[in-house]
Structure 1
Amino acid sequence: MKKRKGRVGKSWRMDETYIKVKGIWCYLYRAVDKSGNTVDFLLTIKRHRMSAQSFLIKN
């Protein structure tokens, strides 16, 4: 059975990391709340900070 995530705070920040996935370098964007919990994430090959931020706000 999957563990249910706790409530997410109102404020969050976006974290950008460059990682290698199956031999390909990708950008990992994470929305992290005040407690350090991951709210949402986006994995892309190209760097699109503004589109990642709008994606994370919509979800």
Structure 2
Amino acid sequence: MIKRKGLEGLFDGRHFDREIIILCVRWYLRYKLSLRDLVEMMAERGLSLAHTTILRWVRRYTPEFVKRWNRFATAVGRSWRVDETYLKRSGAIR
């Protein structure tokens, strides 16, 4: 069984700060930016990245972020109903 790492242990041994990694992964998933767009955005901030680096971050950290998010997400009921409204017209169909 794999033991869950703390937030600090999750980013051990990485070249970039965890804030940069989280920011790139979040922007990629939330705003549907391309990897090359993210590279340009990080270059404007003075960081030199390759698009494959961001792709590796997305593949590595997305499952862990989903696990952590699901712990705080509220469960929705299993059944739900939609009210149906319709109009019945009398007369000829036009």
> Normalization by structure 1: what TM-score?
0.30
Greater share of strand: 1
> Normalization by structure 2: what TM-score?
0.21
Greater share of helix: 2
